[in-house]
Structure 1
Amino acid sequence: MRRHEYRPPRRRSRLTRRGRLALFLGMLLATGALIAVPILRGADEAAEKPRHLLIPEGRRAPEVYAAIDRVLGLPAGSAKTAAATAVLDLPAEAKGNPEGFLFPAAYPVTSRTTPAELLTAMVRTANEKLATKAVADGARAHGMTPYQTATLASIIEAEADSAADMGKVARVVHNRLARSMPLQMDSTLNYALNRHTVDTKLSETRIDSPFNTYRRQGLPPTPIDSPGLRAMAAAVAPTPGKWLYFVTVKPGDTRFSATYEEHRKHVAEFNRLRTADAGTRMVAGRAQQQPGARTG
């Protein structure tokens, strides 16, 4: 069975702390609150006031296709069909799969916009962002290709509870890759199972999929969503640290650990809070029963 792996080289150049900071600042200054991407159109369309299709960070390709179909008023599946036939400037490593290259931004839409035009604009924008010197230099420093950078950034986008945690999540991934440890990311398993959840069963970690990073070492074969600039910045300039584990105990409280023993304590806290929250919801549900109900 073929294994889809990325293993970092044993010897690689490293960005200095100042270099990492400069990289972060340079990329984040270019981010802004919203990126609006122009789409070339004819003179007869210039007078029409465009609507905007907003693609948020972290959307998977099927979710982007569905958004395109909705905004254009097309039958479901139209954008997916267009993606299969459009000439998209994707890396050879992508093998025609645009996952990870449907860049999150705001795209103008008129009555004559086609799915192929939107998809082309998204891929073009992703290539422009990945082709920046900051990303290229950072990727080389870690012995990665731009496509691998996009794949790593997509995991960071899915796993980080906040933008502030992205650098630390990136460091965990880099540290695990450097030690030839499986990434063991629920986000890649969720991608394989086509779902979004924080609950993973032991049996699910044994499924046969190139996206099951519990069983397979290295990065998955493709990105798992559309990462934004902050995730890309974190991928090539991770926060310094020795962390190998992390768990989001509750919203806004992600805990990073360098040892498994410490991580187990954080996981126990997560499970305790989940159990307490489930009990609270059950009590609240009972309290919402209509008054006057009688029991035997």
Structure 2
Amino acid sequence: MPDEHRPYRPHQPPPRRSRLTRRGRLVLLLGALLGIGFVALVIGPLLPEEEPPEKPRQLLIPEGWRAAQVYAAVDRELRLPAGTTKAAVATAALDLPAEAKGNPEGYLFPATYPVTKESTPASLLSFMVRTAHRKLATKAVADGAKAHGMTPYQTATLASVIEAEADNPADMGKVSRVVHNRLAKSMPLQMDSTINYALGRTTVDTTLGDTRIDHPFNTYARQGLPPTPIDSPGLRAMAAAVAPTPGDWLFFVTVKPGDTRFSATYEEHRKHVAEFNRLRAAAGPPAKAPAAK
């Protein structure tokens, strides 16, 4: 029933919504796109550009390199003045054994390391030392060192001598055996590599005068292992240090590349040294006889 108190209003149809034509929709869409493009044009240059990810350079540290060679390589790779990396050792807080007394020789593990714009001498040296611990400070090495009455640091020192003396990896076990046999008999090691380290050189010739130098690394004049490693040994040299090839050898000489002769007696060794001298003389200037090993 109609409310007699409500004023009468004639019936009105609901308002009709305006509808865009197809052309109108296209105009609006075009305007929106142009507006977005304008904003991007204005704001785009104000936003910082993202740099593409840096591709690391590669620094190769070969097996058998001395610390001095590693320092020089890092200086070159980082384009730093010569001597910068060596000086950084003092403040790099490297995780070295107490026996090393801060000297990283033997613990700059041979491998390929990534180098970026963030790399520093300290960061690279620390990376190398951490790698050495991960690769060499294993239970097998510790157990092998203990079995031979050595500390892991002494084993690294022995491995560095093996790395320097062996003509090829196949001879490392025999070189290790010569060192172990000499140590067991309290014989001086008589390793040319330790004298070369003392004199900062690399040569296959050792003179009688060389064997008489007064130096901690002269293993002709002093018994036992050298006081520190003499290079960066690799995994094969370390394995040979703790697991030498069985044998009674006390001497060896590399007569020619790929031909290292191992001897149990000095008489046999002298014959091999004579063969070395003959081949060297035939190849060029007269060679100095290598000292007995």
**Normalized against structure 2, the TM-score is what?**
0.79
Deviation at 1:184, TM superposition (A): 0.1
Q: CA RMSD in A?
A: 1.4
Superposed counterparts of 1:100-249, under 5 Å: 100-249=106-255
Deviation at 1:47, TM superposition (A): 1.9
1:283 aligned partner: none
Letter in 1 for 2:163: E
1:255 matched to 2:225: no
Work out whether residues 251 and 269 of structure 2, in 8 Å CA contact, stay in contact via their aligned partners in 1: yes
Work out whether residues 45 and 110 of structure 1, in 8 Å CA contact, stay in contact via their aligned partners in 2: no
Partner of residue 68 from structure 2, selected from 62, 65, 81: 62
Query: For 1:120-163, what per-residue CA distance to the aligned partner results, in whole angstroms no more than 9, with x for missing partners?
Result: 01111111222211111111110110100000000000000000
Inter-partner Cα distance in structure 2 for 1:134 and 1:47: 40
Residues 220 and 45 (structure 1), Cα distance of their counterparts in 2 relative to 1, 3 Å cut? farther
Q: Which runs of 5+ in 1 are unaligned?
A: 1-43, 281-296
1:16 aligned partner: none
Letter in 2 for 1:255: R
Inter-partner Cα distance in structure 2 for 1:126 and 1:65: 16
Partner of residue 97 from structure 2, selected from 91, 97, 102: 91
1:72 matched to 2:68: no
Inter-partner Cα distance in structure 2 for 1:94 and 1:130: 15
Residues 211 and 279 (structure 1), Cα distance of their counterparts in 2 relative to 1, 3 Å cut? closer
Deviation at 1:53, TM superposition (A): 0.3
Work out whether residues 251 and 263 of structure 2, in 8 Å CA contact, stay in contact via their aligned partners in 1: yes
Identity level (%): 81
Work out whether residues 216 and 227 of structure 2, in 8 Å CA contact, stay in contact via their aligned partners in 1: yes
Higher-Rg member (1/2): 2
Deviation at 1:279, TM superposition (A): 5.7
Residues 46 and 54 (structure 1), Cα distance of their counterparts in 2 relative to 1, 3 Å cut? farther
Residues 46 and 62 (structure 1), Cα distance of their counterparts in 2 relative to 1, 3 Å cut? farther
Work out whether residues 247 and 255 of structure 1, in 8 Å CA contact, stay in contact via their aligned partners in 2: yes
Query: For 1:162-200, what per-residue CA distance to the aligned partner results, in whole angstroms no more than 9, with x for missing partners?
Result: 000000000000000000000000000000000000111
Letter in 2 for 1:124: R
Structure having greater relative contact order (Cα 8 Å, sep ≥ 6): 1
Deviation at 1:46, TM superposition (A): 9.2
User: Which segment is superposed worse, 250-259 or 122-131?
Assistant: 122-131
Letter in 1 for 2:72: A
2:29 aligned partner: none
Letter in 2 for 1:66: A
Residues 154 and 279 (structure 1), Cα distance of their counterparts in 2 relative to 1, 3 Å cut? closer
Work out whether residues 153 and 231 of structure 1, in 8 Å CA contact, stay in contact via their aligned partners in 2: yes
SS at match of 1:202: coil
Letter in 2 for 1:50: P
Inter-partner Cα distance in structure 2 for 1:47 and 1:234: 42
Deviation at 1:224, TM superposition (A): 0.2
